[in-house]
Amino acid sequence: MKTEFIKKEYLSNIKIKKEMIKNHINWLKKLKAEGINVKSGFLIDQHKKPGGGGCLIIECKTYREAEKIIKSDPMIKNDIVNWKLHEWVDILKNNN
């Protein structure tokens, strides 16, 4: 799971934000077309206002595989977001 937050210097630059989001969506469509199971969206507050960043969930066999794919995200390649990647472990699956 990758979480990200747009860097402050890009928050007010609507033109760059829209361009990067468009590129990000196209990147996601390409991943899906390649058969990669991925979900992505932005975070909103209790008033449905965006600005809390985004989250991407990707299904991969290894952390390194996920990291390689994530680093091809246009938002990361263009350095407009701060991001973190974490491997998620299903507690129910691992306690059977």
Q: Would you list the domain boundaries of the chain?
A: 2-95
Task: Look at residue 34 in the predicted model and tell me its pLDDT.
Answer: 97
Residue 15 reports pLDDT greater than 80: yes
Residue 66: per-residue pLDDT: 97
Whole-number pLDDT of residue 14:
82
State whether CATH 3.30.70.1060 applies to domain 2-95: yes
How would residue 96 be classed by pLDDT, with cut points 50, 70 and 90?
Answer: low
Q: Which of 82, 86, 85, 88 is nearest to 4 (CA)?
A: 82
pTM of the model: 0.83
Look-up of token digits 């960043």:
53
pLDDT for 11 equals 80
pLDDT in tens, 34-89: 999 999 998 888 898 877 689 999 999 999 999 999 999 999 999 999 999 999 88
DSSP class per residue in 3-36: EEEE-HHHHT-HHHHHHHHHHHHHHHHHHHHTT-
